[in-house]
Structure 1
Amino acid sequence: MIKHGYSPVLTFRRYRLFIFIQAMVLAWIFSGCAGPRPVPGEKDISRKAGKLLEKLSRQEASPDRFKGYGRYSLDSPDGRFSGRMAWAVKQPDMFRAEILDVSGRPYTTLASDGKWLYIHLKAENKFYKKPGTQATFSRVIGVPVTVRDIVVFLSGRVPVHAYQAAQVQAGGATGVRKGPVLFLRGKWNRPVEEIHFDGDTLSPVRVVMYSRTGAFAYQVDISGRLQPEPTAYTFFQTLLFQDSEHHGIKIIADRLWPDVELPPSIFTLKKR
């Protein structure tokens, strides 16, 4: 006989609700014992990573505009090429490069006016123009480096891409002077960038970039410093850009001229 006001179904539902609340409370207690969790929107940066990021944020100032002249060697699936090249830069995304072959004849012209990327392959008489926001030089050098990044590297600094977490590990790729490696990661623990430092000077010697999907994009090996007199600016002397198969381009700066006048017209190409 069922008592007045008593419902087995209602009692069972209350019992399930009580069990659910108990489980949620226990989960909250044990998750708290497991340590703090990252707060959405806040960056998770270890103490060592914070020091290296601060060092990078204090990278030496670079000129707003400059010209350079040096040598290059290109290693591609089609063979190896070398010669001279000249470049002009206006921060943050205006760029011009004249690439000559080994005999000194014009081989390729690259330009970016901040909105468009222009490529003129003179040997093949081909002209390309595409939006410059995320455009890369993969068609020319086989490495998907963006205009903004190559401008930063040529300016003597390391680009730091947007990240959500930063950690440091020992044992970088710096020979007998292995230093720390700064790992930058995005959401869902996606790799963004690695920066390898020299063990003695804590100067950056290698940068590894990853794509938006977390796949390896390219790496840059850095060596030497060049300071054009009488300025206080310091530039990287040698930059080696490589893909996963070690194809890419090495740029060696021989001379640099900071704070020179650069007409805007040089950063635009027209098809002839």
Structure 2
Amino acid sequence: MASSRKTKYDAIFGHRKYLIPGEDDDKLLQLLEMDSDLDNCDSEDECDVAFECQQPSTEDGQEIPLEQHDSDQDGQSGDGEDQQSEDSDDDLPLNVWIQVTQTLPRANTVAVDEQMIPFTGSCGVKQFVRGKPNPEGLKNFVCATPSGLVLDFEVYQGKDTFLQNSAKSLGVGPSAVVRLIESLREGTQIFMDRYFTTIPLLEFLLENKNHGTGTIMKSRVPRAVHLTSEGILKRLGRGATEQTVRSDGKINIIQWYDMKPVLLASTNLQEEPVDECKRWSKQQKNS
């Protein structure tokens, strides 16, 4: 499978090391379409057939090299249809998708997270995130509703991705949150994980009349917050909780013991009320 992907990449882009934004958008879409066909194949032979079907050909069935096919397209000129086609290429596919998400109805509760778009070719913005199911590819920050509807997204393109962001001093994770909630209504509840959550970010959300809740790293919890030791929580048992509220009452730090302590920070959610959820139990499964 990997050899098939390498073959089709070389056929489209040659042996170029980097992609050029704007110029290579159509080729990248062609690569993604072919990659979708390969992912649906059950065998290497079927993948070869799927790849061959993507090759442009003449009316008599003779294949045209992709490089020649592209140059012929560039060489066409004259009628209004060709001019209209060139004008339509000015809109990048990525921008089109972002514009579509902006038309969707905004939700009162959203989640911000990162995802990896699998990509093994050469690209200047490709990332490798250890521990992800697909660690190699493009890192994409996403804002979505509880049902999974994507409201906005931003592909990470390096340290300058959020250069124009008003909260760029907060770091990459918090800046991603600020960027993705630009189109949300005031009073929106934003949930996130420990990669994004910081106390300065929660303060920023409050200033903009929004609320935030997320797991938080212990190193990001203010030193003034007293946390019960893991040993004591372990003796109290699974489900034990404690809460610390800031003096102005605007931010809560909650420690909850599961298999190990879990820290949460929130601007509007507290220790109470306690809810119940179903989860897998090895003891009950084996009995």
What's the TM-score, normalizing by structure 2? 0.24
TM-score normalised by length of structure 1: 0.25
Question: Hey, which of these two has a bigger chunk of helix by percent?
Answer: 2
**Whose strand fraction is larger, Structure 1's or Structure 2's?**
1
